[in-house]
Each structure stands twice: as C-alpha cells, then as structure tokens.
Amino acid sequence: MEKRFPVVADRAEGCHVWDTDGNRYIDYTSCSGAAPLGVGHPAVLDAAIAALRTGGIVPATLSQARIETAEQLLPLFPFADRARFFRTGSCATTAAARICRVQTGRRLLLTSGFHGWHDWHLQSAFGGLPDRDPETIDFGYDLQRLADLLADRWNDVAAVFVTPEVNFFPHAYHVELAQVVRGHGCLLVLDEVMTGFRYRLGGYAVAAGLQPDLITLSKGLANGMALSAVIGRAEVFEGAEPAYLGYTYQREVTPFAAATASLRAFRTEDPIGRMHDAGRALISGLNDLFTRMSVPAIAFSWPSMFRVLFRDNGIGESFYAGLLRRGVLMEYGGVHMISAATSTEDIALTLAAAEDSLIEVLRTARPTLGGTDLTDADAHMLAVRAFGATSETAAKWWPGYTPQGE
Ligand SMILES: Cc1ncc(COP(=O)(O)O)c(C=O)c1O
C-alpha cells in the first residue's frame, strides 16, 4: 500500500475511520491532532451545523461567536489577556513571528522544532530548502547554542520560538530555556499547536509554570474545523498594532461556533483525562508485549501524545504495516495522538492487533542488534532525527522513560 497515503478515507466518526472499501480502522492520529474530542463530537457538530444554517459567514470581522470564543479561551491560559484568530497552525506561527518582529523592531528568529510549512521556518532539519528565510536560525533545542546566539546577536533577535518536546525534555529544560531567553529584550513564543489541547487543559506552559510572551494554538481548538490563535499579554499585541494580520475568512462564523462548543466540552467532559487513561493503557500494554517478545522497543511517555521507538527500524516499519492491515491507523515514527473517543474495547482490539502483528514480523525477522533493552543512544538518535535536537542536547537532557508532571 502507498506509504504516504495508506488509507483512502471515506468517512470518520469518533476514533474510527472507514476507507473506500468499507474497512474500519481505529485512528491514533486524531486527524493529525485536529479532533482530540473525536470526529463528529455531537455538541460541536450541532454548533457548526447551526452556524452553517444561518449562512456560515457574516460581512463583519467581529462576530458574537468570535467574541465568545475569546471569552472562553483566555481563562484557560491565565497569563494571556488577548487573542488573535487565524485558520491554521502555520498561519498562527507566522502571525506570531510578525508580531514579534514589529514589536521589537528586530528581525532574527531563533527556533527549535516544527512550526508549520511557511517559508520563515523551513529549517534544515525539515527539508533544508534553499529558499528558507535567512533571518531564522535553528538552535536545535541546544541551550548552550541558544545562549551563545543571544550573547552574539542580542541586538538582532526578535524572538525565540520553541515547540515543547514533551516526550523527551523534562519541565526543568523548558524552565531553563525561559531563563536563558530573559534579559535579552526578545520575546519568547511557545508553539503549542500540538500541546495546547492535548498535554493538559491550559496546555504545556501552564502545566510547566512557564510565562511565555505568546502562545500559538490550533489543533483541537475547534475540534476538526480550521481555527488557530495567537494569545498573549495585551502589551505585546499593542506594540505590534501596525502589523497587518487581516484575512478574508475571519468573517466565517462556523469555526468559532465549533470552538465555543469544543471549549465547553474541554471544560466539562474531561476529554484530556480520558485521553490520558487510554494512552496509559496502550503504553503499558505495548511495553508488556515488547518485553514478552524480547523486542528492543519502547512506548513512552506522555500518555495523550506518546511515541514508540524500535531499535531496528525494519522491524518497526513491518510492525506498523501489520497494524494497518489489522485495522489500526498509527504513523511509524510519529507522535500517537489518542482521541477522547477511544474506548477500552478499541484499546483491547489494538493490543490484540499489536500482538498478532509482532508475532508475524518475528516469524521472518529477528532483531538484528543484540540485547532486549533500548539504550540512551537509541533515544538520542530519535531526538536528532525526529525534532532536530543536537546530539549534545539529546545526551544532556534525556530523562529516561519517566513522564514529567503526571
Ligand atoms: C507544533 C506545530 N506548529 C505548527 C504546526 C502547523 O500547523 P498546520 O499544519 O495547521 O499549519 C504544526 C502542525 O503539525 C505543529 O505540530
């Protein structure tokens, strides 16, 4: 089956997706994280349909649904008193970059991690395209490199942009990063497009006690509808008033109607707690399996967005291909984003499929490298490959397999 598009999807509901041949899969991508409540959450669907019935768009940039979204969103992030809305995660990170540049009158952006597909952050670890913005530098999550850059270029740096890598770095890493950034006259932006509605209610910054200047949000904000936001303190936005950040479809009300219903569900239904329960069951089930079968592999660590690491890539690839044939949609090498719609039956089916798949793989391939345990070196390789950490950083900060902040 084509690796890039393994499933031609026909429809989805909750955590299930059906392909055009009628096969059902259990989805562990939450549609790339977009629908953490599960696809078609009834209250979100009702709110979106009601908004569409009244036309779905208004000839004004301010709508009641937009105001209500801001009013429900901001109390979840106590450091923030302003929100600007956009459509995609990339729009939000690009808007945050512009806000920081206009506010500080500086151009240089120091970044780590993925921030979307726009030109300014096409960093070398993610393709190294020749037209990448020369005014961004990837510091590879390396705090020493960051400190050196800030010391050398302090007069140029508008902002430091970081995506929290919650499965790898402890809270203490992000706290130290924030300390390194302070005092240089630049802004700190936490890219929480992935973590904002998945790590904890209030995202990573609140859980880790961080006070960034701006946070970018998207996945989950409107549970499946395209909506994103930049949130932060009023003075950061006020300093960037001259920046043009308008767009035609800010007049659409449907994503805002979906957002108000989603935010209500996040407050009242504890979906993140349910994602964590499901994730914990999967992580421990997979790790039991790997131990029983003596396969050097591990599932770790933050339950609602965990990773699986195989020492032998070939075995990992075959295991995931076998999962797909057995109706489990998980991306090899990716972050497994569970939705709150995942039931205990889905988890039992997944673990049974995992056992079958591994038995099948081991019939033809034995782990090529010795030992049943993964070493720190295996984890370090993942950090370098998956999110562009320097190897020094990976060696310094890898906390073992203990999730932080549970
Ligand atoms: C941390 C982070 N920032 C930004 C983006 C870009 O969001 P989008 O794909 O909606 O443009 C993503 C998408 O995966 C992301 O994970």
Number of independent structural domains in the chain:
2
232 and 341 both lie in a single domain = no
Question: Does 74 have pLDDT greater than 90?
Answer: yes
Question: Is-contact 332 316, C-beta < 8 A?
Answer: yes
Residue 313's domain comprises: 9-30+270-374
pLDDT cut 90: percent of the chain above it:
79
Cα separation, 256 vs 236, whole angstroms: 24
Q: Is the CB of 89 within 6 Å of ligand 1?
A: yes
Q: Rounded to the nearest whole angstrom, what is the distance from the C-alpha of residue 148 to the centroid of ligand 1?
A: 28
pLDDT digits 0-9 by tens, 10-30: 999 999 999 999 999 999 999
Q: Rounded to the nearest whole angstrom, what is the distance from the C-alpha of residue 216 to the centroid of ligand 1?
A: 10
Q: Rounded to the nearest whole angstrom, what is the distance from the C-alpha of residue 161 to the centroid of ligand 1?
A: 13
Domain assignment present for 387 = no
Which ligand 1 atom lies nearest to the CA of residue 116? 6
Closest-CA residue to 286 (of 328, 244, 249): 328
143 and 283 both lie in a single domain = no
Q: Is the CB of 204 within 6 Å of ligand 1?
A: no
Q: Check: pTM over 0.85? Answer yes or no.
A: yes
236 and 314 both lie in a single domain = no
181 and 318 both lie in a single domain = no
Per the model's pLDDT, the better-predicted residue between 375 and 367 turns out to be: 375
CATH code, domain carrying 93? 3.40.640.10
CATH code, domain carrying 355? 3.90.1150.10
Which ligand 1 atom lies nearest to the CA of residue 93? 4
Sheet of 336-337: strand order equals: 297-300, 305-310, 336-337
87 and 109 both lie in a single domain = yes
Indicate the top mutation candidate among 90, 94, 195, 214 to test ligand 1's pocket, ranked by most ligand atoms within 8 A of CB: 90
Domain assignment present for 201 = yes
286 and 176 both lie in a single domain = no
Question: Does 279 have pLDDT greater than 90?
Answer: yes
Q: List the structure tokens of 158.
A: 């508008």
Domain assignment present for 389 = no
Cα separation, 229 vs 86, whole angstroms: 6
Which ligand 1 atom lies nearest to the CA of residue 88? 10
19 and 149 both lie in a single domain = no
The last residue of one of the domains, among 229, 246, 268, is: 268
Domain assignment present for 2 = no
Q: Rounded to the nearest whole angstrom, what is the distance from the C-alpha of residue 288 to the centroid of ligand 1?
A: 32
80 and 176 both lie in a single domain = yes
- Provide the pLDDT confidence category of residue 398 given band limits of 50, 70 and 90: confident
132 and 170 both lie in a single domain = yes
The last residue of one of the domains, among 233, 250, 268, is: 268
Q: Is the CB of 218 within 6 Å of ligand 1?
A: yes
Q: Rounded to the nearest whole angstrom, what is the distance from the C-alpha of residue 238 to the centroid of ligand 1?
A: 25
The pLDDT of residue 2 is: 56
The residue whose CA has the least distance to atom 3 of ligand 1 is 115
Q: Is the CB of 287 within 6 Å of ligand 1?
A: no
315 and 325 both lie in a single domain = yes
373-396 mean pLDDT:
83
The last residue of one of the domains, among 199, 234, 268, is: 268
206 and 239 both lie in a single domain = yes
Q: Is the CB of 163 within 6 Å of ligand 1?
A: yes
Lowest mean pLDDT among 285-294, 325-334, 373-382, 397-406: 397-406
Question: Does 293 have pLDDT greater than 60?
Answer: yes
- Provide the pLDDT confidence category of residue 406 given band limits of 50, 70 and 90: low
Q: Is the CB of 115 within 6 Å of ligand 1?
A: yes
Give phi and psi for 116, each to the nearest 5. Answer: 115, -165
The residue whose CA has the least distance to atom 5 of ligand 1 is 116
Domain assignment present for 154 = yes
242 HSE (CA, 13 A, CB side): 6
Question: Does 133 have pLDDT greater than 80?
Answer: no
262 and 303 both lie in a single domain = no
The pLDDT of residue 364 is: 85
